[in-house]
Amino acid sequence: MTSKELVIDLLRKQKERESTAGPESIQGRVEEWNHSVESLLSRIREWLRDAEAAGLLTVDMIPVEVREERLGTYQSSGLKLSMPAGVSVRIAPKAREVVGATGRVDFEALPKKAILLRRDGDSWHFAESNPQRGGWSFRDLTEDSFWETLRTLIA
């Protein structure tokens, strides 16, 4: 086979592999990731329910378009929290393919940002910048850590 034929053959096999439905295909990875994000957003909505019912903030689902080198462009969902003082927090997936993790969701309240990483299956952790310790440290996502993160973002 010529080099061209070898490359074409390799590309054909890669395409076949990627088009096969399953957790390893692009489509499978995007679906799995979107499912995980939706489940995360449901948890967050649940934690916010009391504050929302008391009229202290509003929570809206927002469409999010994500672009990734390996997964291409796909549609996902996020949340927009609007506070009485006009501050808003956008919670949205940033990427599925992340170094050292299997997904990243950002909490953005201009100009601040908090980073939530999915690691070890479906377990979520906030990455907290800690320059004194040489970078970032990680904290499990719990209702407490969620509220603390929110406080830091809107303070």
Partner 1 sequence: MRQSALTIAEDWPRPAKVLEYYQRSIEAIAALRQAAGQLGPVSRFYGMTAVEVDQAIRELVAELEHEVTMMLTASFEAALQVDFYDRVSRKKKDQASRKLRQLAYRPLKGRPRGVRTTRIVVEEILDVWMEQTGRKQLIGNLKQLFQFRHWLAHGRYWVQRSGLSNPDPFDAWSRGKAVFDALPDFDSAMLS
105: nearest Cα among 125, 91, 123: 91
Binds partner 1 (CB under 8 A): choice among 4, 23, 84, 132: 132
The type of residue at 82 is S
CB of 52 to partner 1, least distance (A): 24
What residues between 41 and 80 interact with partner 1 by CB under 8 A? 67-69
In three-state form (DSSP H/G/I as H, E/B as E, the rest C), the secondary structure along 61-120 is EEEEEEEECCCEEEEEEEEEEECCCCCEEEEEEEECCECCECCEEEEEECCEEEEEEEEC
Q: Can you tell me whether residue 125 is helix, strand or coil?
A: strand
CB of 55 to partner 1, least distance (A): 22
Q: Is 151 in the site for partner 1 (CB under 8 A)?
A: no
Which residue, chain included where needed, has tokens 């209702």?
143
Total residues interacting with partner 1, rule: CB under 8 A: 21
Q: Is 127 in the site for partner 1 (CB under 8 A)?
A: yes
Q: Is 91 in the site for partner 1 (CB under 8 A)?
A: no
| Residue 68 CB neighbours (<10 A) | 18
What residues between 97 and 116 interact with partner 1 by CB under 8 A? 98-101, 110-113, 115
For partner 1, which is the closer residue by CB, 68 or 78? Answer: 68
For partner 1, which is the closer residue by CB, 51 or 98? Answer: 98
Q: How many CA atoms lie within 13 A of 131 on its CB side?
A: 0
- Contacting positions for partner 1 (CB under 8 A): 67-69, 86, 98-101, 110-113, 115, 127, 129, 131-136
